[in-house]
Structure 1
Amino acid sequence: MSDYSKLEKCLGYQFKNKDLIVEALTHKSLKKPYNNERLEFLGDAVLNLIVGEYLYLNFPTSNEGELSKIRASLVNETGFTKLANEIRLGDYIYISTAEERNKGRTKASILSDAFEAIMGAIYLESGLEVLKPIILNLLRSTYDKINLDVLFSDYKTALQEITQAQFGSIPEYRIEGSYGPDHKKEFEVSIWIDGVKYGQAKGKSKKLAQQAVAKIAIDKFKEIN
Structure 2
Amino acid sequence: MDEVFEQLQERIHHRFGQVKLLREAVTHSSYANEQEEPMPDNERLEFLGDAVLELCVSGECFRRYPEADEGRLTKIRAKLVKEKSLARLARDISLDACLRLGRGEETQGGRGRESLLADALEAVFGAVFLDAGFEAARACILGLLEDRWPEEADCSDPKDHKSRLQEVTQRHFRERPRYFLSGASGPEHEKVFEVTLRLPGGLVFSSTGGSLKRAEQSAAQAALQHLAGQGLD
Shorter-chain TM band: 0.5 to 0.7
CA distance in 2 between counterparts of 1:41 and 1:153 reads 30
Please name the residue that 1:16 is paired with: 17
Calculate the TM-score normalised by the size of structure 1.
Answer: 0.65
Of residues 87, 107, 114, the one that matches 1:101 is 107
Please name the residue that 2:150 is paired with: 145
- How far has the Cα of 1:144 moved from its partner? 6.4
Q: Which ranges of structure 2 fall in alignment gaps of 5 or more residues?
A: 162-207, 214-233
CA distance in 2 between counterparts of 1:104 and 1:155 reads 35
- How far has the Cα of 1:96 moved from its partner? 0.9
Structure-2 change in CA distance of 1:129 and 1:19 (3 Å): same
For these two proteins, the number of residue pairs brought into alignment is 164
Q: Which amino acid aligns with 1:122?
A: V
Q: Which runs of 4+ in 1 moved over 6 A?
A: 154-157
Q: Which ranges of structure 1 fall in alignment gaps of 5 or more residues?
A: 158-167, 174-225
- How far has the Cα of 1:88 moved from its partner? 0.9
Q: Which amino acid aligns with 1:8?
A: Q
- How far has the Cα of 1:58 moved from its partner? 0.7
CA distance in 1 between counterparts of 2:117 and 2:132 reads 23
Please name the residue that 2:176 is paired with: none
Rg comparison, structure with higher value: 2
Identity within the alignment, %: 36
CA distance in 1 between counterparts of 2:17 and 2:75 reads 36
Q: Which amino acid aligns with 1:55?
A: C
CA distance in 2 between counterparts of 1:154 and 1:2 reads 48
Per-residue CA deviations over 1:120-168 (Å, capped at 9, x if unaligned) read 0000110111121221121124x26354445x558977xxxxxxxxxx9
Structure 1 counterpart SS, 2:2: coil
- How far has the Cα of 1:2 moved from its partner? 3.0
Please name the residue that 2:136 is paired with: 130
Instruction: Note the 1:204-215 alignment, pairs <5 A.
Output: none
CA distance in 2 between counterparts of 1:36 and 1:75 reads 18
Structure-2 change in CA distance of 1:16 and 1:98 (3 Å): same
CA distance in 2 between counterparts of 1:55 and 1:40 reads 22
Please name the residue that 1:73 is paired with: 79
Structure 2 counterpart SS, 1:122: helix
CA contact (8 A) 2:65 2:153 kept: no
- How far has the Cα of 1:43 moved from its partner? 0.2
Structure-2 change in CA distance of 1:135 and 1:102 (3 Å): same
Please name the residue that 2:88 is paired with: 82
